[in-house]
Structure 1
Amino acid sequence: MRIIVADCQAKYSGRLNASLPLARRVLLIKADNSVLIFSEIGSYKPLNWMAAPCSIKEIEPTDADDDVDTDIPEKILRVCADKSSDILEINLQHIYSDEAYELGADPGLVKDGVEDHLQRYLAEQIERIGEGAKLVRREYPTAIGPVDIMAVDANGEHVAIEIKRHGGIDGVEQLTRYCKLLNRDPLLTPVHGIFAAQTITPQARTLAEDRGFACMILDYDEMKGSEDGSLRLF
């Protein structure tokens, strides 16, 4: 991992055009050449980025284009996508730090304890989604990642369940991708979807119901065996 702190400006061109004016930012350059640009405040997401596969060319100021509208930069990074004409060009006006670190192999994401427990409890109590339902398996594998729970309902039809602590639109989009892929399999289709969470935003509920998914509110304490709590399937 290479980490650069610099005053920089950036321009993205290709399928879309975007630019970042001059400001102090952090650049992360991963081993696969992915480049991400972050600011001090704002969203956890990068301001701009180029995902792999891509290549990086470091251009010295004497090789820079003449249209740089500020002082001559210390360095220019030109990042080109391998499978499209997209280019991210970053002018590093002043570099404060440029360090590289070997991070080694990563064990991957470990799910939040509460979310993992919700998945386990619902798998053990699968009839909560409907009388006669049966568990197929947790972490049902697909080409785009595992579905939290795969089950079959009383009619023998498959049900894909996506579980979140706090259900937002991103979770609905994730369930949409899973169901779209699973419904291509003639041995599984029709595959229905259930979006299950401790809380679901109004926007996520509207989107889920528009796409034909059921929304389930999960009560963590009730599923652990507490007398207080409720679970509703809409």
Structure 2
Amino acid sequence: MRVVIAQCQVDYAGRLTAHLPMAKRLILVKSDGSVSIHNDDRAYKPLNWMSPPCTLSVREPGADEAATTADVDPWVTEVWEVTAATGDKLQISLGEVFHDSSHDLGIDPGLRKDGVEAHLQALLAENPDTFGKGFTLVQREYQTAIGPVDLLLRDPHGAYVAVEVKRRGEIDGVEQLTRYLELMNRNPLMGEVKGVFAAQQIKPQARVLATDRGIDCVTVDYDALRGLDNSEDRLF
């Protein structure tokens, strides 16, 4: 990972356009090629980013760039151009650089789920019909280039279904599954991969975002899966 702290201006052009005026920011370049720009708040969420696959090239600033852009000082030292496979472009104009270092983080062991979430994933793997009649398990922890998908299933028609399992379903989990689906749907051997967001409780905002992105939501009854909640014993 490369960590850069510098004065920078950021311009994004693609499905939408965005502009960040010159300011001091953190830039992360990861080994997968992704580039993200952060300020000193917003927790983990970047101000702008480019997801892989993408390419990064560095060039000297043109004489007309500093002259025609009001908020770029003439002391711009270099310009980074990040181009995605879709043609979207992220241009980062660097001014003064305060820190620039690279670090090999090695292989990450991955997120260790808490006991309930890990057990929930195992129970769903044993009961794929929770998602519908005819669903079958292909693999647990299906590895992608950006992390493991909790469950990979096939629906009754043979189509692949990627399932993200959470104890508490929030927007972050939907974003995570979206990234997996974007990558998996580029694999011509898999065809169209559908997504399912499964959790014991799903927040309304997460459900709205999932629906907007064509991801199904399934609320899971943990006790019922464990066999502790027998519907025949209920009064109501």
Provide the alpha-carbon RMSD of the alignment: 4.7
Query: Is the CA contact (8 Å cut-off) linking 1:6 and 1:95 kept in structure 2?
Result: yes
Kindly name which structure, 1 or 2, has the bigger radius of gyration based on alpha carbons: 1
Structure-2 residue corresponding to 1:201: 203
Instruction: Note the alpha carbon deviations across 1:69-108, whole angstroms, 9 max, x for none.
Output: 34323522221416455433223232211122233x4245
Structure-1 residue corresponding to 2:37: 37
Structure-2 residue corresponding to 1:75: 77
- One-letter code aligned to 1:90: I
- State which drifts further: 60-69 or 29-38: 60-69
Structure-1 residue corresponding to 2:91: 89
Deviation for aligned residue 1:194:
6.0
Deviation for aligned residue 1:141:
5.3
Unaligned runs of 5+ in 1: 186-190, 228-234
Deviation for aligned residue 1:5:
0.8
Structure 2 Cα separation of the partners of residues 82 and 129 of structure 1:
34
Instruction: Note the alpha carbon deviations across 1:110-159, whole angstroms, 9 max, x for none.
Output: 342332221112334567668x878534428598974616377xxx7779
- One-letter code aligned to 1:59: E
Structure-2 residue corresponding to 1:22: 22
Deviation for aligned residue 1:39:
0.9
Structure 2 Cα separation of the partners of residues 71 and 213 of structure 1:
48
Instruction: Note the alpha carbon deviations across 1:53-82, whole angstroms, 9 max, x for none.
Output: 213214268796422434323522221416
The normalised TM-score by structure 1 is 0.64
Instruction: Note the alpha carbon deviations across 1:201-221, whole angstroms, 9 max, x for none.
Output: 23445665x9795632333x6
Query: Is the CA contact (8 Å cut-off) linking 1:57 and 1:78 kept in structure 2?
Result: yes
Structure 2 Cα separation of the partners of residues 57 and 101 of structure 1:
20
- State which drifts further: 84-93 or 4-13: 84-93
Unaligned runs of 5+ in 2: 230-236
Change (3 A) 1:12 1:117: same
Change (3 A) 1:35 1:138: closer
1:171 aligns with 2:187: no
Structure-1 residue corresponding to 2:48: 48
Structure-2 residue corresponding to 1:230: none
Change (3 A) 1:115 1:13: same
Structure 1 Cα separation of the partners of residues 175 and 38 of structure 2:
27
Change (3 A) 1:128 1:89: closer
- One-letter code aligned to 1:96: F
Change (3 A) 1:6 1:118: same
- One-letter code aligned to 2:7: D
Structure-2 residue corresponding to 1:118: 120
Identity score, percent: 29
Query: Is the CA contact (8 Å cut-off) linking 1:7 and 1:23 kept in structure 2?
Result: yes
- One-letter code aligned to 2:3: I
Structure-1 residue corresponding to 2:219: 216
- One-letter code aligned to 2:122: R
Structure 2 Cα separation of the partners of residues 60 and 214 of structure 1:
47
Q: Which of 100, 103, 113 in structure 2 is aligned with 1:101? A: 103
Instruction: Note the alpha carbon deviations across 1:29-51, whole angstroms, 9 max, x for none.
Output: 23455321111101522211234
Query: Is the CA contact (8 Å cut-off) linking 2:168 and 2:202 kept in structure 1?
Result: yes
- One-letter code aligned to 2:49: W
Structure 2 Cα separation of the partners of residues 31 and 168 of structure 1:
27
Aligned residue pairs, count: 216
Structure 2 Cα separation of the partners of residues 142 and 102 of structure 1:
21
Change (3 A) 1:68 1:173: closer
Structure-1 residue corresponding to 2:8: 8
